[in-house]
Structure 1
């Protein structure tokens, strides 16, 4: 038997600090960064730039004009500076565009600063000093996530994030709490992205469950893991069928969060995340090129684990239970076959007419369990479920379906706040006959309108509970570095969920 792979130590996100001083007053920084604001008469430089020009003996505005800088969001002009006859340590000045000054623009500016300062020791910047409400936090989240890197090299990572980012000229009393919340949001995105990027020769269902236990203990959560024997004893037929072809047996992960002072009357939200640690397609095997990204088919489960770990940091006021049905969809003599009928938790049956439509089978078990055993006020499931969603929405926007208008409105607002975009899709009743089997209760391979029919299949497992289904196969993989996204698995989801669950009343109009 092959030895268990050992993941090498990974890099950490930048550390952040606040200071009321301007960059030239703060010693030890290797890089200074100043905002550039578009203006009809030509771009303007923000706080501290004039003082920096004088201290450095460099006309920064002239340097910007020389390269025709515009100040558009994320545009970076680099100005190397010599250190002759100066006591400071600065070697580089960055002039960073903030566009129209929106929260999104500052998130992109943060990402631009992070990319321009990799392998540097420190940067001091006044960009956050002119940020709008929530803009400081957006800048921090952008800088954190654009710093992400993952490696499995014998020689270590090729590059490292800037070690420290000081937000200068910031003295607002609320900045400390905004910074702490932003670090929690960015950290959740980082964790989700890491989980999605780990290769499947390490990331088995058991390994994913171990990660949930580890982060749950650190976050003060109660974590329960079902092994194969317990799954069989309790009737989780969907999870067992999908995982039945693999030498790595499936798991069901449950993570429980309760806010301080919670009582029996505190309502509960259930999050369900698809945890397919590798998807070969099963006997309906995928083409080889379609398997290249399938180590991240557990991205929904990773998003739920990362969200659960950060709920306390965003002061979530409701109970939250995270469920991650984890399995590896493999090919073997024990794999589920086209035409098989499986019995889900609670008794509903599904005819398996496509073994590559496996995600809905494991989600169905977890959702049925939630309705039966938890009786939540709302259920939100999140999954890389259908290629059809990418056809519908392209690369950067997740799709969602909802059976409750207030829940849909909450998630729409969270998308705007978080920067993880969503677009509502319709639950078209005319397609219901496509998810009905001739011999079982449901058919997992309706075909046509694939994202919609997958949602209709899942809807049968929530009864009348307010429910929202996020299918982000469209946004699960970033082909290139773009703003806060780094090339590879995107880690999409935690910012969206935390922006919702961290509000004063996530269940307003729902429960």
Structure 2
């Protein structure tokens, strides 16, 4: 990650960035006053000043409190190796500085394997008293680092990213971090994971199940985060058409987000116990691929009839939830999954669907998502729709053809056991951006990592 610093000293040999509406004294102020002020958050007006200092000034639009968008606009207007100083208004709230730093880092993201090298410039935030901003910039760095990781993992090509590779990344990232423990199950240890074995059965890359635990001293609530980890999804025997398969390297975006959030909880030393569960499989086509019509026995011993091998995510999540409720005694469970494409029709590309029977948990996640810049909309869990899950040959049907997203959430509810405080975020659409969009860069967005970190931080703060 490129550098962001705090300073109380102006340096007129570097580029200055001045928020719209803030006019300095003297000649520079007169020049800025003569320009049309950018009104939209993230909009940048460039003022060249040859043979003067500073030689270049950027006027940044803030809009209606859009500091995160402003940060993204600023970093995109800078050269990769440029040094700039952002002149902060006097008395700027800490939350605004945190959003500005997040926007700078998130807007400046570049995939680690991209042809262009990573940015090497520096942005200093200039204020008369920087002491109050040190903590929020550190928080922004942890949030950005988690999001960058989730983006990197999701952007990684499927020729590299298989379940074993992903599991190895988790083990490596958890190594030498006090309080973090990573456990990987494979082979015979997956005997009870019938959904995971079925979905991964058609691939030459066998499935893995990863448990990553952050256990601080004297933990308070125990939050279990479950992330769908399909490293590539062909649809299996119910094969996807070419265009629908184009972006299926992103089908592990939920696992990437919960991984990033758990690592951030450790980095920020949050006194909240967090366990991330990552069921990892490649849904491929092969002689051992599971078939439409198969009955699958899950970790909790119950069975599912499936008539669509492209409804695979819920099958691996069912095993993870059975594992969580039997072995971990969670206080709450939050599931992140690129589960269905149906939500995009109603909610668009920037909004995830939220399902939860717990009003307090749903409200906490919505608040965290709003603060993080990751929108969600709560949808119902109608009791009469449970009938769609009825099967004549198994405990339930995993892939009925009616109301796809809602019924998928109801299906996951079947595996929550006695846990009543749970939420499912269906985030397939917002997990990918087709172009730069505010703090998002083209490609994987890392959606959910920021929300989860805010949620965990607020949960700690509420104790």
Q: Does 1:78 align with 2:46?
A: yes
Q: Does 1:249 align with 2:210?
A: no
Segments of structure 1 that go 5 or more residues without pairing to the other structure are 1-12, 38-44
8 Å contact from structure 1 (residues 128, 136) kept in 2: no
Q: Does 1:313 align with 2:267?
A: yes
- Give the Cα separation in 2 of the matches to 1:273 and 1:455: 14
Q: Does 1:198 align with 2:156?
A: yes
Q: Does 1:164 align with 2:122?
A: yes
Segments of structure 2 that go 5 or more residues without pairing to the other structure are none
TM-score by length of 1: 0.87
Offset, 1:80? 1.9
Q: Which residue of 2 aligns with 1:53?
A: 28
- Give the Cα separation in 2 of the matches to 1:507 and 1:402: 20
Q: Does 1:267 align with 2:221?
A: yes
* Superposition RMSD in Å: 1.9
- Cα deviation, 1:140-179, whole Å, max 9, x if unaligned, reads 11111111112646xx41x643521100125143211111
Q: Does 1:98 align with 2:59?
A: no
- Give the Cα separation in 2 of the matches to 1:355 and 1:464: 29
Question: How many positions carry a matched residue from both structures?
Answer: 461
TM-score by length of 2: 0.95
Deviates more, 1:375-384 or 1:69-78: 69-78
SS at match of 1:200: coil
Q: Which residue of 1 aligns with 2:433?
A: 478
Q: Which residue of 2 aligns with 1:411?
A: 365
Q: Which residue of 1 aligns with 2:110?
A: 149
- Give the Cα separation in 2 of the matches to 1:175 and 1:36: 21
Query: For 2:325, which of 350, 371, 377 is the aligned residue?
Result: 371
Offset, 1:217? 1.6
- Give the Cα separation in 1 of the matches to 2:397 and 2:207: 22
- Give the Cα separation in 2 of the matches to 1:326 and 1:451: 21
- Give the Cα separation in 2 of the matches to 1:464 and 1:409: 21
- Give the Cα separation in 2 of the matches to 1:76 and 1:123: 14
- Give the Cα separation in 1 of the matches to 2:292 and 2:221: 40
Offset, 1:59? 2.0
Q: Which residue of 2 aligns with 1:18?
A: 6
Alignment of 1:378-457 (within 5 A): 378-457=332-411
8 Å contact from structure 2 (residues 38, 60) kept in 1: no
8 Å contact from structure 1 (residues 219, 309) kept in 2: no
Q: Alpha carbons of 1:123 and 1:443: their partners in 2 closer, same or farther (altered >3 Å)?
A: same
- Give the Cα separation in 2 of the matches to 1:170 and 1:243: 57
Offset, 1:23? 4.4
Deviates more, 1:235-244 or 1:266-275: 266-275
- Give the Cα separation in 2 of the matches to 1:294 and 1:409: 31
8 Å contact from structure 1 (residues 128, 167) kept in 2: no
- Give the Cα separation in 1 of the matches to 2:72 and 2:234: 34
Deviates more, 1:375-384 or 1:435-444: 435-444
- Give the Cα separation in 2 of the matches to 1:23 and 1:254: 48
Deviates more, 1:281-290 or 1:251-260: 251-260
Deviates more, 1:278-287 or 1:474-483: 474-483
- Cα deviation, 1:349-386, whole Å, max 9, x if unaligned, reads 01111100000000000011000001111111100000
Q: Does 1:469 align with 2:424?
A: yes
Structure 1 stretches (4+) deviating beyond 6 angstroms? none
- Give the Cα separation in 2 of the matches to 1:487 and 1:342: 38
8 Å contact from structure 1 (residues 255, 323) kept in 2: yes
Offset, 1:215? 1.3
- Give the Cα separation in 2 of the matches to 1:435 and 1:507: 38
Q: Does 1:137 align with 2:121?
A: no
Query: For 2:173, which of 215, 219, 229 is the aligned residue?
Result: 215
Deviates more, 1:253-262 or 1:379-388: 253-262
- Give the Cα separation in 1 of the matches to 2:371 and 2:96: 10
8 Å contact from structure 1 (residues 383, 470) kept in 2: yes
Offset, 1:129? 5.1
Q: Which residue of 1 aligns with 2:87?
A: 126
Q: Which residue of 1 aligns with 2:310?
A: 356
Q: Alpha carbons of 1:192 and 1:52: their partners in 2 closer, same or farther (altered >3 Å)?
A: farther
Q: Alpha carbons of 1:70 and 1:147: their partners in 2 closer, same or farther (altered >3 Å)?
A: closer
- Give the Cα separation in 2 of the matches to 1:198 and 1:314: 26
- Give the Cα separation in 2 of the matches to 1:393 and 1:80: 42
SS at match of 1:79: strand
SS at match of 1:399: strand
8 Å contact from structure 2 (residues 338, 426) kept in 1: yes
- Give the Cα separation in 1 of the matches to 2:101 and 2:301: 47
- Give the Cα separation in 2 of the matches to 1:79 and 1:116: 12
Q: Which residue of 2 aligns with 1:277?
A: 231
8 Å contact from structure 1 (residues 258, 319) kept in 2: yes
- Cα deviation, 1:38-89, whole Å, max 9, x if unaligned, reads xxxxxxx34xx336728xxx82322x2xxx334331111011222x3x6x6x
Offset, 1:120? 3.0
8 Å contact from structure 1 (residues 277, 298) kept in 2: yes
